[in-house]
Amino acid sequence: MIYLDNAATTKPCLECRKAVAEAMENQFGNASSLHNMGTASLQILSRAKRTVLAALSGTKSPLDGEVVFTSGATESNNMAIFGAAERARCRRIVSTAIEHPSVARALDGLAERGFEVVRLAPKDHADFIEAIVNAVDENTALVSVMAVNNETGFAVDVPLLYKQIKRKNPKTAVHIDAVQGFLKMPLDGDLISVSGHKIHSSKGIGALFIKKGEIIPPLLKGGGQQHNLRSGTEPVELIAGFEAAINAYRGSHEGFLKLKNHLLKRLSELSDIKLNSDERCVPNIVNFSVRGVRSEIMLHSLEEDGIYVSSGSACSKGKKSGVLEALGVSDKDADCAVRVSFCADNTTDEIDALCDKISKTIERVRRGTSKNRF
Ligand code: PMP
């Protein structure tokens, strides 16, 4: 198997699997229990929170604030957006046209409740950060911007964006969906969402960072766990696995760049390839269109040889990607878009196998029936 769909999800690493099994076997106490099994679970939670805080900033100084463990970034994003809106005194929200549905649909909900939601598209702005900051005014309650787009890898300099928004309006809450940027770049923000299954932990675990001084109401009310910010018995096992995966994370900019450069070189030898990821994109996600071959045809052809990639976002499930449009990709090219996303285990040999099969598929479709062509 050649797995090149790491932006959709990653394989849980050995360290994570061991930590989950160990916690299930020996540290399964309820973190709210007063006996020593409860204390042991509480210690796992506290240590994991420190690890997340240190990992978020991507620098030697950890961010200052609280970490709330959630079921994943969909919950973190909803908690951040609805929470920030609930305590907002003004009704303008600035975001982008390339957000993940867990942000975009939450913003739709706020628009229905009367919030003014401004969504900027990268294709319309040479300097995207400047455009976002320009859109912030004295009535802006919230800015929600993703660190890295999951479909093309389009990235923003988050610490710079955060600094400039705060300079423009210190009262504006800044939420960053950092699912695809976590452990790969420096981050900052008042509210930051991350997810375990994109960094070799399991599905079902994520976190929301809440900066010191930022107050948001809980999304889930109940037993008052996690300082009453997120009720529900904490999944100690998944949290232990999440921490282990953070500590064991091996992806590096240099490693990804080597893979990306190899892929770009091999793609440049094929005809009818249009790149949809440009120099503003992270090196671990590469989106390109194979003109004349629809995405599903390419995906299933690669799958025959055990090669797994994606057509844009796994969350869109074949629906037309408005995201690619907002990034300046034509509808026709979006129909044949392929997303390749790396992890540290991928090799240049795997990329060779991918490109050989893409080349064969192009040939087959060219020779083949007209139903595969358009
Ligand atoms: N935001 C982004 C940018 C994502 O890529 C994803 C996962 N596709 C999510 C949010 C949702 O994360 P989760 O699967 O943990 O709910």
What pLDDT, on the 0 to 100 scale, is given for residue 368? 82
What pLDDT, on the 0 to 100 scale, is given for residue 313? 46
Alpha carbon distances (Å) from 120 to 29, 135, 140, 171? 47, 9, 14, 21
For the segment 247-260, the average pLDDT, to the nearest whole number, is 98
User: For residue 331, how far is its CA from the centre of ligand 1 (angstroms)?
Assistant: 24
Spatial distance between the Cα atoms of 242 and 200, rounded to a whole number of angstroms: 8
Backbone φ and ψ for 366, nearest 5 degrees, come out as: -65, -40
Q: For 324-337, what is each residue's pLDDT tens digit?
A: 999 999 999 999 99
Residue 315 pLDDT > 50? no
Q: Give, for 166, the enclosing helix (H) or strand (E).
A: helix 158-168
Instruction: Name the residue among 234, 209, 210 with its Cα closest to residue 220.
Output: 234
What pLDDT, on the 0 to 100 scale, is given for residue 59? 82
- Asked if 225 and 197 touch (Cβ cutoff 8 Å), the reply is no
What pLDDT, on the 0 to 100 scale, is given for residue 5? 98
Q: For a pLDDT cut of 70, what percent of the chain falls above it?
A: 96
Give the ligand 1 atom nearest the CA of 75: 16
In DSSP terms, 5 is beta-bridged to 341
Mean pLDDT of the chain: 95
Confidence of residue 231 (pLDDT cuts 50, 70, 90): very high
- Asked if 308 and 348 touch (Cβ cutoff 8 Å), the reply is no
Alpha carbon distances (Å) from 61 to 3, 16, 55? 34, 25, 9
Alpha carbon distances (Å) from 37 to 8, 27, 33, 97, 224? 36, 7, 7, 47, 19
Residue 263 pLDDT > 90? yes
Give the ligand 1 atom nearest the CA of 74: 16
Greatest distance between any 2 Cα atoms in the chain: 71
Nearest protein CA to atom 7 of ligand 1, as residue: 8
The set of catalytic residues is: 315
Q: Judge residue 247's burial from the number of C-beta atoms within 10 Å of its C-beta, 0-12 exposed, 13-18 middle, 19 or more buried.
A: middle
What pLDDT, on the 0 to 100 scale, is given for residue 209? 98
Ligand 1 neighbours, Cβ below 6 Å, are 72-74, 100, 102, 146, 150, 177, 179-180, 195, 206, 315
User: For residue 195, how far is its CA from the centre of ligand 1 (angstroms)?
Assistant: 7
Nearest protein CA to atom 5 of ligand 1, as residue: 150
Residue type, 160: L
Confidence of residue 26 (pLDDT cuts 50, 70, 90): very high
For the segment 173-196, the average pLDDT, to the nearest whole number, is 98
Place of tokens 């969402």: 193
Nearest protein CA to atom 4 of ligand 1, as residue: 179
Q: For 336-352, what is each residue's pLDDT tens digit?
A: 999 999 999 999 999 99
Residue 306 pLDDT > 80? yes
What pLDDT, on the 0 to 100 scale, is given for residue 321? 65
The residue count of the chain comes to: 374
Q: For a pLDDT cut of 90, what percent of the chain falls above it?
A: 93
- Of 315, 317, 321, the residue with max ligand 1 atoms within 8 A of its CB, to mutate for a pocket test, comes to 315
Spatial distance between the Cα atoms of 50 and 66, rounded to a whole number of angstroms: 9
What pLDDT, on the 0 to 100 scale, is given for residue 278? 94
User: For residue 179, how far is its CA from the centre of ligand 1 (angstroms)?
Assistant: 6
What pLDDT, on the 0 to 100 scale, is given for residue 319? 63
For the segment 302-322, the average pLDDT, to the nearest whole number, is 77
Spatial distance between the Cα atoms of 199 and 12, rounded to a whole number of angstroms: 8
Residue 108 pLDDT > 50? yes
What pLDDT, on the 0 to 100 scale, is given for residue 322? 87
Nearest protein CA to atom 10 of ligand 1, as residue: 73
User: For residue 313, how far is its CA from the centre of ligand 1 (angstroms)?
Assistant: 10
What pLDDT, on the 0 to 100 scale, is given for residue 316? 52
Spatial distance between the Cα atoms of 47 and 273, rounded to a whole number of angstroms: 47
135 Cβ contact list (under 8 Å, min separation 6): 94, 118, 120
